Amino acid sequence: MNNPFYRWLFRQVEFWWLPVLLVLLWWVLSEDSTSFFFPPLSKIISVLYRDLASGLLMKYLAVSLSNMAAGLSIATVLGVVLGLIIGESRTLQQATEPTLNFLRSIPPAAIVPIVIVAMGIGPAPKVFIIALACFWPILLNTIDGIRGVPPQMIETARAFKIPLHLMLARVLFMSALPQIMAGIRVAVAVALVLMVISEFFGASEGIGFYISESKQRFAMTETWAGTILIGLLGYVLSTIFLKIERWLLAWYFQDPSTKKMKQPVYQT
C-alpha cells in the first residue's frame, strides 16, 4: 500500500462500494418490475437522459438553481450581518431570543401557499421562501459562533480601541467563521428542499414543477427521474460546498486543537 495509486484506488473503493452496490441491487431487482408506481431503474435512467439531452431538464435546472442561489445569498448576507450584531450585544441577545425562537419554529413549508398567493407565481416568492428558510440556521449559528469567541479576545480589542466595524469584521467574524460555515452547510440542504417545494405551487418551470406536473399526468417514470436528479444535485452541491469550506477554513483544519469541525446548532 506504499504506492500512491493503490492508496488512491483503495480510498475510492472504500468510498463508493456501498452506493454502487445499492444501485446495482435496485437495477437488478427492478428490471422485471411491472408495477405502475415502481418502474425499472433502467427505464428511469433512460427517461432522465432523454430529458437532459433534450435540454428540458437543463432549462428547469437553470431556473431552480438561480432561485436557490438568490435566496441563499440573501439569507447568508442578512444572517451573518444580523448574527454579528446580535451576538456582540448581550442586551440584544436577551431581547431578541423569544422572538427568534418563535419565528424559527414556524415551518417554512407551511407558509409556501400563503406566500405564493400573496406574491404571485414568478421567481420572487420562490426566492423569498428559500431566503426565509435559510436565514435561521445561518443567523443562529453566527450568534452561537460569536458566543464562543474567548472574552479575552474581545476585551483586548476593546482595550486597543479597535473600531466596532473592524472588531466585527476582523475579530468576531473570523473567530465565528467555522460555526458560520456550519450554518451555511445546513442552509444549503434546506435551500434544496424549499427550492423543490416552492415549485410545487403556482410554477410553470423548475425541477419541482417537472416532478409535480409529471405526477399529475401519472408519468411515474418522469417523476422518479426528477427525484433522482434532485438527489444527484444535492450530492454535487454538498461536495462542492465541502471543498469550498475546506479551502476557506484551511487554517482551522490545520490547527490540531480544532481538528473536529463544529457542528451546526440548527438542525432540520
pLDDT at 3: 77
Mapping DSSP to helix (H, G, I), strand (E, B) and coil, where does residue 205 land?
A: coil
Q: What's 256's DSSP letter? A: G
- Global pTM reads 0.85
pLDDT at 118: 86
Contacts with 166 (C-beta within 8 Å, 6 or more apart), sequence order:
none
263/185 Cα distance (integer angstroms): 10
247/74 Cα distance (integer angstroms): 22
pLDDT at 261: 46
Q: How confident is the prediction along the chain (268 residues), in pLDDT tens digits per residue?
A: 567 877 888 888 888 899 999 999 999 999 988 888 999 999 999 999 999 999 999 999 999 999 999 999 999 999 999 998 898 888 888 888 888 888 888 888 888 888 888 888 888 999 999 999 999 999 999 999 988 888 888 788 778 778 877 887 778 888 889 999 999 999 999 999 999 999 988 788 999 999 999 999 999 999 999 999 999 999 999 999 999 999 888 877 776 555 454 555 554 4
CA–CA distances in Å: residue 126 to residues 60, 64, 65, 117, 190: 14, 9, 11, 12, 13
Nearest of 111, 248, 108 to residue 189 by alpha carbon: 108
pLDDT at 14: 86
Nearest of 60, 99, 15, 86 to residue 203 by alpha carbon: 60
pLDDT at 67: 95
168/79 Cα distance (integer angstroms): 14
182/185 Cα distance (integer angstroms): 5
Q: Structural domains in the chain?
A: 41-258 (1.10.3720.10)
pLDDT at 258: 53
Q: Could you tell me if 198 and 130 are in contact, meaning their C-beta atoms sit under 8 angstroms apart?
A: yes
Gyration radius from the chain CA atoms:
22
Cell output for 62: 437553470
